[in-house]
Amino acid sequence: MSSSHSSPYQKIRQYRQSREELRPFLSPPSPGEQELSTSPRAPRTPRPWGRTSRELSRDLVPPPESGPQFTLTGPSTSPSNASANAEKHHSISATSTSSNNAEPDEPPPWDRSVDVYWTGQTFGPNEQVRNDVRAFQYNSVRLAGESSILSREEAMKRCDESCEEDTPKSPASIGKRALRPPKQRKDVSRKDNCGYTKLPDRVRFMITKLVVESYDSGKAIRLNSPSFFDPIWPVNHAAEGEHYWSTDYFDSLKKVLTLLKGYTSICFAMRVDFMTTLLLTRRFHLILSPFVTENSQPAAVLWMDRFGPVMKWITLEIDMTKLGGHWNPSSAGLDKSKSLERVGKLVEKFAERQLTRHGGTTLQSLVILVRRYYGNRPVVETTDDPSKRPSTTSPNPNTPTNPPAMTPQAVKGVPYCADSHLSILDPIKKLQGMVDTLCIIGASKAYVSQLV
């Protein structure tokens, strides 16, 4: 062993020696010090920079007793009480906006002055069942083809070349079966020995419908995050642990798919059938706002683009409360920015995807909710404070004072959401003849008559 390297025994000896030198510092504390160290410590105040913005904003929220808390399901206007709510709201706003930075005491009511329900062609019970079975046939074929790895053209090309044997993992065979008409399609499963796939389409639809209905809570399935259901202003923050809306109003998409996972994971054919039945029998709630993108809301954009043409019960909510971003009349100019154009593109994309429905299947129910506030924005006085004006001479008490100057916008009244913004719903006109029942809430009477 070379002298440059120390042996293990030397290392142990050095460690023991250093331990003896540190022994005075490692002695147990005195009884007084021990009692002091074991006493409960005061809770440590967290650092501001170590907390999230949501936690910091909670400290700025006044306690519940300092002001009322409001929920998303607040007052709404109807043709009977629209004027009463508007007068009440403006009287409150006029007294509460003493300065330009004052927030209204109450949020404005939702605009429900127009509620139109239109029904087109109606079907009897037996005819409705036949339409449902036909929709199940065509849409199961569609989902089976879109679930394959290759495109339909590529799948057919490989089928023509060398696809004599139907292998379990062959995406080409799946595409070939998906391209057959519903009456000639024998199987969409990857396993031909599955007895379920040999049942008629009507029987398979009845089986899957009974299973899906057993998990149906009677609520719509939301495709957006909970934050998209909250209003952006007025800033009447809810208390900690409370929300503007309750999760009991909707079912989440993740929860519904988890309940059906035991059936959809059996085989490919059952997955296609259960997904088709789920899309045909449940209502889906979609919110479109300037903040809905593929990255922030993948279910509302990507998932909806893929499975939206199969759905028969859709609620489309257009959120126009986030266009201006504030109650002040000066923020109304923000409505003309790209945010309105962004929502219009989402509506146009939704309409174009609905036009790709197969087999003449229609939307059984389409509900369009325009979320906007009723009435005009509160009047804001734009006067100069005399105390802040530089005065060169002493004020003369005999000189009469001029009344506060009001801007033309404040005198005329600026609406929360102008009726001209409803033009982003024009792509819905392309769905003429494809909707059995249409319900529009929140739009103006003139635009609804033009749309219908």
Residue 93 has pLDDT above 70, yes or no: no
Question: Cis link prior to 234 (omega < 30° from 0)?
Answer: yes
Mean pLDDT score, 85-104: 41
123 has pLDDT over 70 = yes
pLDDT at position 115 is 85
Give yes or no for residue 77 having a pLDDT over 90: no
**Which residues, at least 6 apart from 149, have a Cβ–Cβ distance to it below 8 Å?**
171
The pLDDT, as a whole number, for residue 234 is: 54
Mean pLDDT of 234-249: 62
In the chain, what are the domain boundaries? Answer: 115-123+197-378+412-451
Confidence of residue 274 (pLDDT cuts 50, 70, 90): very high
pLDDT at 169: 39
Mean pLDDT, the chain, integer: 69
The per-residue pLDDT for 421 is: 85
Spatial neighbors of 122 by CB under 8 A, at least 6 apart, are 436
Answer with the residue of higher pLDDT: 234 or 86.
234
Neighbours of 286 (CB within 10 A): 24
State the amino acid at position 144 in one-letter form: A
Average pLDDT on 14-26 reads 64
pLDDT at 213: 94
Does pLDDT of 250 surpass 50?
Answer: yes
Quick one: average pLDDT of 138-157? 61
Write out the H or E segment, with its range, that includes residue 59.
helix 53-59
Is the model's pLDDT at 342 over the cut of 80?
Answer: yes
- pTM comes to 0.63
pLDDT at 416: 79
User: Measured between alpha carbons, how far is 105 from 244 in angstroms, rounded to an integer?
Assistant: 16
pLDDT on residue 141 = 86
Residue with tokens 């060169």: 392
Q: What is the pLDDT of residue 283?
A: 95
pLDDT value at residue 125: 77
3-class DSSP state of 385: coil
pLDDT tens sequence across 159-190 = 334 333 333 333 334 344 444 444 444 444 44
Between residues 107 and 283, the one the model is more confident about: 283
Position 143, amino acid? L
Give the tens place of pLDDT for each residue, 177-233. 444 444 444 444 444 456 788 889 999 999 999 999 999 988 999 999 888 887 766
Q: What share of the chain is helix, strand, coil (3-state, %, to 5)?
A: 45, 10, 45
Identify whether the C-beta of residue 268 lies closer than 8 Å to the C-beta of residue 147. yes
Structure token pair of residue 38: 């074991």
d(C-alpha 374, C-alpha 382), whole Å: 23
Residue 426 clears pLDDT 90, i.e. is over it? yes
Phi–psi pair at 415, nearest 5 degrees: -70, 155
CA 21 to chain CA mean position, Å: 66
Which of 81, 87, 143, 140 is CA-nearest to residue 111? 81
Assign 367 a pLDDT band (cuts: 50, 70, 90). very high
